[in-house]
Chains A and B, each alone.
Chain A
Amino acid sequence: DAGVIQSPRHEVTEMGQEVTLRCKPISGHDYLFWYRQTMMRGLELLIYFNNNVPIDDSGMPEDRFSAKMPNASFSTLKIQPSEPRDSAVYFCASALTAGRREQYFGPGTRLTVT
């Protein structure tokens, strides 16, 4: 079975550029999560969706970040304009429930903003 799929796996961009990260959750999972991981702050939840609807976006750092889920099999996280402090690994995860069962993580996108 295919797990969570993320693309690209690596992204290097210059400050000020738009960055779009993509995620395909596991089929049948109703919940999709976007996380950011850095050495300093660990794994932080940015936003999560239930049935394509954003439920909690309190972790989105600022207006430069936006996320969409147009259908059950696709989500994007966009950063515009990007800044060097956005450099991190961005993980997408999906789950059958929000907080009581396992979340399945994708391989992550390693973003470097120069």
Chain B
Amino acid sequence: RKEVEQDPGPFNVPEGATVAFNCTYSNSASQSFFWYRQDCRKEPKLLMSVYSSGNEDGRFTAQLNRASQYISLLIRDSKLSDSATYLCVVNDRGGATNKLIFGTGTLLAVQP
């Protein structure tokens, strides 16, 4: 089982639509969770952290379900500029190491 699993998509949605991505992780000891965004042929950049109580940043809402070990990202009122790959990221603590594990990403294409 992969440490972080995401539906690769693509998700093709019209402008203005609401779209949701889910992600599952395998390490129940993980403590930090993030969504990164990666534009085509660019580097990943942090979109938002994910907190236990859920959090919102404008049109973006992130939620965490520790019991089921899944994370979600909801995008409301999609814009053309939201087209990108969204990476689910989880920290992985083990011994002396503490690193981030990236999912393979979900591709979103917002259509005019």
Q: Interface residues, chain A, CB within 8 Å of chain B?
A: 33, 35, 41-43, 45, 48, 55-56, 58, 91, 97-103, 105-108
Contact = CB atoms under 8 A, between A and B. Distances in A.
Looking at chain A's contact residues, the main secondary structure is loop
A55 B96 CA distance: 8
Contacts of B16: none
B91 A105 contact: no
Interface size class of B (residues with CB under 8 A): 20 to 34
B93 A99 contact: yes
Looking at chain B's contact residues, the main secondary structure is strand
B97 A105 contact: no
28 contacts: A33-B99, A35-B102, A41-B104, A42-B103, A42-B104, A43-B102, A43-B104, A45-B99, A45-B100, A45-B101, A48-B97, A55-B96, A55-B97, A56-B99, A58-B97, A98-B97, A98-B99, A99-B31, A99-B32, A99-B91, A100-B31, A100-B91, A100-B98, A102-B46, A103-B100, A105-B44, A106-B43, A107-B42
